[in-house]
Amino acid sequence: MSYVNGLKCRECGREYPKDVLFVCEYCFGSLEVDYDYAKIKKSLTKESLKDRPKTMWRYAELLPIDKEPTVGLFSGFTPLLKANNLARVLGVRELYIKDDSVNHPTLSFKDRVVSVAISKAREFGFDTVACASTGNLANSVSSQAASCGLRAFIFIPADLEAGKVVASQIYNPNLIGIEGNYDEVNRLCSEIASKYRWAFVNINIRPYYAEGSKSMGYEIAEQLDWKLPRHIVVPSAGGSLITKLWKSFKELEKLGFVDKVNTKVYCAQGQGCAPIVTAIKEKSDVIRPVKPKTIAKSLAIGNPADGYYAVDTVRKSKGWAEEATDEEIVEAIKLLAKTEGIFTETAGGVTLAAAKKLIEQKVIPEDESIVVCITGNGLKTQEVVTKSLPKLTKIKPNLASFEEHIKNGDRQKIAENKVIEYYI
Ligand SMILES: *Cc1c(COP(=O)(O)O)cnc(C)c1O
Ligand SMILES: [Zn+2]
């Protein structure tokens, strides 16, 4: 059963069939999936959701797959946890973490988009999938291609974190490190995509891929009992996730699942690669491409494909934007770990650091609901924190050594490790 009318140009509105297309041949605008919402409304109801699986596929009508999904069957429906400890530290009343650091199967938000993209690529009959990636996309395409026996070509900047490289290589794809930054990887991939008949998940089947992000928004709404948060802080690389979260909220409004959308959307980027944040702060429509220089490599896209739409989303929602320095990123990773027991990667550090700054600036008020989107797992970017962590304490395997340690060991460390009053 399909609920998709076809594709539609985001700029001129021209309609196209649901095919392997991604740009408008008249105005070069990007194409977007167009749904039959009247039909969706009949099938997708709060009642019908009750006995559906706790995965992103419970919202299947709003995803662009015609048949049953064939990969990523366990992706999505990640925890939305009320972060009371972190809220106290930040001085706010109602704070939630949407925790995609535990998404299935590869521990990042990219599992959502890849589950849709590869299921769609199989509907189209492709035997090879590919991607240009800053790391997490590479992991998810490698894993999900392996799970359904497709050939995979994965293109990444050669200088990615070791954890990100291993977490692709293990699935045995054709993994190619490009001596250049993501924007150069992407340019090369566009050339390859026009020559080889492969499904590049974020290039020639991008309209379908991008829709997968919306599932995160549906889940947040459902997990808050169909009340949208007043504020949501979102990390941006190419600017797709932030745009699609907004689309998901507007769709829920259209379907009558939530009241009128009243959520302010905030964009978070690393200071050394913040073209979207800069445009928002300068109140400009124009994205000036930058050469990335940040430890947040998963967000290091200097020329974001959906940058314009990301800026437009933030402006429409009356939100704002903030950037995080490398030091602030590391501090925020440690703060989330210490207060909520969640180990996020650099992108999560960016998002929490940006949220913290927006709260300190009173751009986000202390007494309204806030969701912080944590999109990746800290085990993949360990090198950014190892330098700032204490050395491993080593003792002999006997009680006397332990008691010696307690007596003479790092007193400050032991004292700091006490129960702190903000814990409840
Ligand atoms: C890809 C990615 C994002 C956001 O990507 P967009 O290109 O803006 O959709 C956010 N966090 C992590 C960890 C990512 O890998
Ligand atoms: Zn057009």
pLDDT confidence band for 154 (50 / 70 / 90): very high
How far is it, in rounded angstroms, from Cα 234 to Cα 245? 9
Whether residue 413 has pLDDT greater than 60: yes
Average pLDDT over residues 296-305: 98
Average pLDDT over residues 212-237: 98
Q: Where are the beta strands (DSSP E) in 10-100?
A: 15-16, 31-35, 80-82, 95-99
pLDDT tens readout for residues 121-153? 999 999 999 999 999 999 999 999 999 999 999
Q: Which ligand is nearest to the CA of 101?
A: 1
pLDDT confidence band for 1 (50 / 70 / 90): confident
Nearest atom of ligand 1 to the alpha carbon of 241? 9
Å from CA of 32 to ligand 2 middle: 11
Q: What is the per-residue pLDDT for 424?
A: 45
Q: Which of 131, 136, 350 to mutate to test the pocket of ligand 1 (most atoms within 8 A of CB)?
A: 136
**Average pLDDT value for the chain:** 96
| Residue ranges around ligand 1 (CB below 6 Å) | 108-110, 136, 235-241, 298, 347, 375-376
Q: Token digits for 235?
A: 């990390």
Say what the alpha-carbon torsion angle 135, 140, 146, 147 is, to the nearest 10 degrees: 170
pLDDT tens readout for residues 330-365? 999 999 999 999 999 999 999 999 999 999 999 999
Average pLDDT over residues 260-276: 98
Q: In percent, how much of the chain has pLDDT > 70?
A: 96
Tell me the sheet residues that pair with 174. 153
Which residue has a Cα nearest atom 11 of ligand 1?
A: 375
* Among 157, 154, 156, CA closest to 131: 154
In sequence order, the 6+-apart residues with CB closer than 8 A to the CB of 418 are none
Tell me the sheet residues that pair with 80. 98
Residues within 5 A (CB) of ion ligand 2:
9, 11-12, 14, 24, 26-27, 29
Å from CA of 216 to ligand 1 middle: 12
Residue 315, SS3 per DSSP: helix
Q: Token digits for 347?
A: 């992108």
Residue 263, SS3 per DSSP: coil
pLDDT tens readout for residues 361-381? 999 999 999 999 999 999 999
pLDDT confidence band for 408 (50 / 70 / 90): confident
